[in-house]
Amino acid sequence: GNELIGQLLGHGEHPAPMFTSCCPGWINLVEKHFPEFIPNVSTAKSPQEMLASTVKTYFAQKINVDPKDIYLVSVMPRTAKKDEVVRPQQFYNELQMIDAVITTRELAKLIKNHKINFLDLPDEEYDAPLGLSTGAAAIFGV
């Protein structure tokens, strides 16, 4: 958000317009065919990378686990997300944030092949790894 506001107020390093950076297919297109627009691409990580960074830094520290011992699998709708996680920008201190990506179709196939019927699974308590919400976001309509 600050990056966009800075550009709109004329304080940004690069001219408008600003383009999203959350689609690896789009990023590859810009890099290969429209490199003049690279400065206009947001530096924000994609949602899967933001969550992965949170898991392997904040959450790992919270549960007192070495981030190298966390194997994080992301379930995404597009195969291009598999390419995104091996880009050099997605590593932190030589640690890959997302270890594997499977598509939703691949997940469905795994569920089917292993004959998992969710209606037959026992109920479990809700897992709240980041704690409960304070409700503060509701004030801002988030």
Provide the phi-psi class of 52: left if phi over 0, else alpha when psi is between -120 and 50, else beta. Answer: alpha
Six token digits for residue 74: 């992301």
138 falls within a domain? no
The whole-number pLDDT of residue 6 equals 72
Same domain, 72 and 94: yes
Six token digits for residue 2: 């600050």
13 falls within a domain? yes
- How far apart CA 75 and CA 107 sit, in angstroms, is 7
Same domain, 57 and 16: no
Same domain, 34 and 56: no
Q: What's the total number of domains in the chain?
A: 2
Same domain, 57 and 105: yes
20 falls within a domain? yes
Find the CATH number of the domain harbouring 71: 3.40.50.1780
For 75, list phi and psi in degrees, rounded to 5: -105, 115
The whole-number pLDDT of residue 52 equals 92
The whole-number pLDDT of residue 133 equals 64
pLDDT in tens, the chain (142 residues): 677 777 777 766 666 677 877 888 888 899 999 999 888 888 888 888 889 999 999 999 999 999 999 999 999 998 888 888 878 777 777 888 899 999 999 999 999 999 999 999 999 988 776 666 666 666 655 4
The residue type of 90 is Q
The whole-number pLDDT of residue 135 equals 67
Same domain, 35 and 54: no
128 falls within a domain? no
Question: Domain range spanning residue 98?
Answer: 47-116
Q: Report yes or no on whether pTM surpasses 0.75.
A: no
Token look-up 């976001």 returns 137
The whole-number pLDDT of residue 141 equals 53
Same domain, 97 and 69: yes
Same domain, 27 and 52: no
